[in-house]
Amino acid sequence: MNEELNTLDKSFSELLAIVKKNGGSEYISQIRTIESILSCLRDNEFTDTLKMEYVVSRHRELYPPRGGLSEFFIWDNDFQTRKRLNKPLDTVRDDIWAILKKYRA
């Protein structure tokens, strides 16, 4: 699990940078949630199991029924540019989900 937590730390750090750079003020709540996830992952007082439980529960908050990161993407009028800009976002989302789906009930 430790390797998964390290991967999650890296992936959530990348996600935070992308959302901060491209998200605007309507994503402040998601930015704070990602920051709290990173804080937990980096805190040595929690066990790996508690960290994973926290990350799974907070990850759900990033994707509410409306809004949140499920509707987040980087816009550019040129399709190829838009596709290139969103590739890192799609990759980091997929990397996070690949780990967390094993722990969701």
Digit-coded pLDDT (tens) for 47-92: 999 999 999 999 999 998 888 999 999 999 999 999 999 999 999 9
Q: Compute the distance between CA of residue 23 and CA of residue 31 in angstroms, rounded to an integer.
A: 9
Note whether residue 39 is domain-resident: yes
Note whether residue 75 is domain-resident: yes
Residue range 19-46: mean pLDDT, rounded: 96
Distances (CA, A) of 39 to 28, 34, 57, 66, 101: 16, 9, 14, 26, 21
Note whether residue 12 is domain-resident: yes
Q: How much of the chain is in helix, strand and coil states, percent to nearest 5? A: 75, 0, 25
Note whether residue 78 is domain-resident: yes
Note whether residue 105 is domain-resident: no
pLDDT in tens, 8-20: 999 999 999 999 9
- Specify the number of domains making up the chain: 1
* 94's tokens: 């997929």
Note whether residue 59 is domain-resident: yes
49 contacts 1 by C-beta, under 8 angstroms: yes
Domain containing 54 equals: 2-100
Note whether residue 26 is domain-resident: yes
Note whether residue 77 is domain-resident: yes
